Structure 1
């Protein structure tokens, strides 16, 4: 089935799900227990309210909140009105949010307080004069510095009719932009990846069908909604197939085990750290996890013993691995049901239908199976480009449509892809992409720091973490702990280096490029 042709847009999924699954449970979030019909009603109310705020076709709207029912309804309201969702990482600090909102010229911001952070209040203190921002909405909790709280936002919709909401939704097409997802890059600033309704539906409708999602399943969605893992492989893929969605705002292994046992959760996707923490949690034997059925983990190397433990200790029947990047709708390859554990551990599987993968040398020529080179992708899943960055788009996507991923990989004789290195220096912290160039730029804001070089180093729990080598300004003093403390106050926590080394100078070549191989060797020998 071509899910983009069948459903047309993400809000259309909710219409069809209400027709197909009716009073079956769609969403469970604390005291919220909505059927598919009730979710449709909530969506229409949100679309009416978005229209009343003046959100229309092509308008960008920031959305910064933890996983919740309100996040889903806010996104559906924005998209149903024709707007474009700009998901914002809840770990970002105010300066990082300000950059993205300015870059995208966001007309409105939906946000909430989370883990002691009031995003709207902090943002307005950091940047009180965002030129395009007209309205702020607090979607959970008190209104605070926001223009509207969630009930106040929905009340605005009283001035619009259901018919006007239906007309707006019905005007959406698969080619319309659904979201601009900002991903950090080697240039030191985030870039907005443009994705459409059709790309999302086609990729994740297929993926969830391949993974055997059914209307008898319940999915505890732990990966954050600001990433495709939680948003598109999570609640969107679920609602297409009638799966009950349970959003989890912040991962806690003990709490997750309670929800799995009580709600009979059958689907759980996420980075390996989630499954390791569930397996190792002392209360695991006290909880019934026999309902668990389908899992997929990715983002880093998967130890084969973990795959066996996921089946033996967590009762999973199906364990998959996959590979993707935001620029490819976050889905390029996946293993298939029936693949043996070594294939799931060693590779990320084979390309999804209608998507090509090749390994290329530095001249862009395809390499044979078994040879390492840059992973390149071509197909419907590839982004239209970076928001208002034509040069970066041209550098990433060739005239022949091949996306240069920057990852180094190998294809085996069966077409399975293995990622063996990262051309762009990016490393992955517990499932989150961390980019040294961006972190280095942020560290230069620390007053004593004159130069900084960041590398990814192994970590038993998170897979990799950052190590920053810093050179201090003449006459300045600081400690490694002080640099880490400054970083925790000024950047998202997954970007914070877990290790700092204060050095007299950074090793450089004749072109003054930092020799990071030498830094890796130094760290290994410490």
Structure 2
């Protein structure tokens, strides 16, 4: 019987010499391929020993570490469902995710154990463990007593492997359900499309709680049996110092901007590099051009989503065109339609829809929402707006609704507006995205007071910081008498964007 477990495919790609170095960390720790094999087996055996129900969710909110990566792989190995949570999420957000996903296991940092365990136990979670980025915590203490041998769980191709929460434009987050086949098919396509080489070394400088770092980067290196240089936190000076030892780097545009600020970034330090990849947010054409001039390399831009993993990519061989996301990947059908459902001609701007083996299974416990997001013929409505050129290059020209992408993270105004509107004295609010030289885009909150009430913009921001992840916090808040509206009474966010677009320039 064939095993469709994603971990089985990754494990089969490990080099024959298990004593070879698989991961070198930024604090001079070295992990062999054998270490990964043994540690994932021990952690998988710990999970199995808990007698979890089939399809049990393992929710994880910890700092980036090799052990956190091992926990992800062990969850796959044992046949359970991994649920990564952004380390910046605060109590109101964690309460929603745990209540909605009903995980059997929650793993958090030791510092957060008090409040996270309270939320988890109240929601019916049976097991709460801790994991620190210094290789301590109850999870590792328990796993240390488990066997280092484990038979990889047999799963079906469509069995769930992960749930990624992606905020909705109309409020609460939705859990995108990704199967083993969704992620494996994508990893296999990218291995070929990006021409991974036997001697490749990846600098892993991304967080591991979303698609880019957890799936694209991690799966890419593992399915190629490639060594990783592992950074717990992005440090531009350290990255530049390690470029001569590496061949592949993946980053969001913000990381490229910060690397360009380093005087040490030269043609010489990039001499062994094969590929620089960018995604998660649009790369400014100025950054694209400056990178070419400084390093002699052309950044390869691609496009994907939590619900789909990677969808398109500029070519590895051929023109990597700045301002575009290249072509649909092999196996991905991509079309652009108007609001009436008619497929548009080349260079006509419309709604991007996709179909393929990498497209998610639907939204967790939201059958109506899932149905709504798919067309009658099975295409997923991405919510992005774009066009396909005469020569096939795809350009994303905007995002439906009001999504803000700040430093590579999605910020949905409706969610933040909900928190502001609940504050004492607030009548209503509007959050818009404006250009920012470092983050690409940041939020500006415009708040209206109730009659006779006084509001303090700094106080509003301070209260938000106690409730929400830092990347969601508006970089500027202003209190006005009224919001601009059209004749139908709808808030004109385009007017606000225009009004504040030069705030950070």
Q: Confirm whether residue 36 of structure 1 aligns to residue 19 of structure 2.
A: no
Q: Confirm whether residue 441 of structure 1 aligns to residue 418 of structure 2.
A: yes
CA contact (8 A) 2:81 2:161 kept: yes
* CA distance in structure 2 between the partners assigned to 1:202 and 1:477 by the alignment: 55
Deviation of 1:143 after TM superposition, in Å, equals: 11
Sort the Cα spacing of 1:376 and 1:60 in 2 relative to 1 into closer, same or farther, 3 A.
same
Sort the Cα spacing of 1:128 and 1:474 in 2 relative to 1 into closer, same or farther, 3 A.
farther
- SS in structure 2 at match of 1:254: helix
Sort the Cα spacing of 1:347 and 1:19 in 2 relative to 1 into closer, same or farther, 3 A.
closer
Residue 150 of structure 1: aligned partner? 139
Residue 497 of structure 1: aligned partner? 474
Sort the Cα spacing of 1:286 and 1:447 in 2 relative to 1 into closer, same or farther, 3 A.
farther
- Length-normalised TM-score, structure 2: 0.93
Deviation of 1:339 after TM superposition, in Å, equals: 3.4
Deviation of 1:141 after TM superposition, in Å, equals: 5.7
Residue 87 of structure 1: aligned partner? 84
* 2:378 maps to which of 401, 417, 420: 401
Q: Confirm whether residue 111 of structure 1 aligns to residue 100 of structure 2.
A: no
Residue 298 of structure 1: aligned partner? 279
Q: Confirm whether residue 134 of structure 1 aligns to residue 126 of structure 2.
A: yes
Q: Confirm whether residue 239 of structure 1 aligns to residue 222 of structure 2.
A: yes
- SS in structure 2 at match of 1:366: coil
- SS in structure 2 at match of 1:519: helix
Deviation of 1:466 after TM superposition, in Å, equals: 0.4
Q: Confirm whether residue 67 of structure 1 aligns to residue 64 of structure 2.
A: yes
* 2:302 maps to which of 322, 330, 334: 322
* 1:227 maps to which of 210, 220, 234: 210
Deviation of 1:39 after TM superposition, in Å, equals: 1.1
Map 1:44-443 to 2 at 5 A: 44-112=41-109, 118-124=111-117, 127=119, 129-140=121-132, 149-155=138-144, 157-158=146-147, 162=149, 165-166=150-151, 169-260=152-243, 264-284=245-265, 288-314=269-295, 316=297, 319-329=299-309, 331-341=310-320, 343=321, 345-443=322-420
Deviation of 1:384 after TM superposition, in Å, equals: 1.0
Sort the Cα spacing of 1:149 and 1:142 in 2 relative to 1 into closer, same or farther, 3 A.
farther
* CA distance in structure 2 between the partners assigned to 1:421 and 1:189 by the alignment: 22
Sort the Cα spacing of 1:447 and 1:157 in 2 relative to 1 into closer, same or farther, 3 A.
farther
Sort the Cα spacing of 1:288 and 1:416 in 2 relative to 1 into closer, same or farther, 3 A.
closer
Deviation of 1:21 after TM superposition, in Å, equals: 4.8
CA contact (8 A) 2:160 2:179 kept: yes
Deviation of 1:227 after TM superposition, in Å, equals: 0.8
* CA distance in structure 1 between the partners assigned to 2:369 and 2:120 by the alignment: 29
* 1:27 maps to which of 8, 23, 37: 23
* CA distance in structure 2 between the partners assigned to 1:304 and 1:511 by the alignment: 37
- Length-normalised TM-score, structure 1: 0.89
Deviation of 1:156 after TM superposition, in Å, equals: 5.1
CA contact (8 A) 1:28 1:245 kept: yes
Give per-residue Cα distances to partners, 1:59-93, cap 9 Å, x unaligned.
01101123221111111222222110001011111
Deviation of 1:224 after TM superposition, in Å, equals: 1.4
Deviation of 1:180 after TM superposition, in Å, equals: 0.5
Map 1:470-485 to 2 at 5 A: 470-485=447-462
Sort the Cα spacing of 1:278 and 1:7 in 2 relative to 1 into closer, same or farther, 3 A.
farther
Higher helix share: 1
CA contact (8 A) 1:214 1:242 kept: no
* CA distance in structure 1 between the partners assigned to 2:242 and 2:380 by the alignment: 40
CA contact (8 A) 1:361 1:367 kept: yes
- SS in structure 2 at match of 1:34: strand
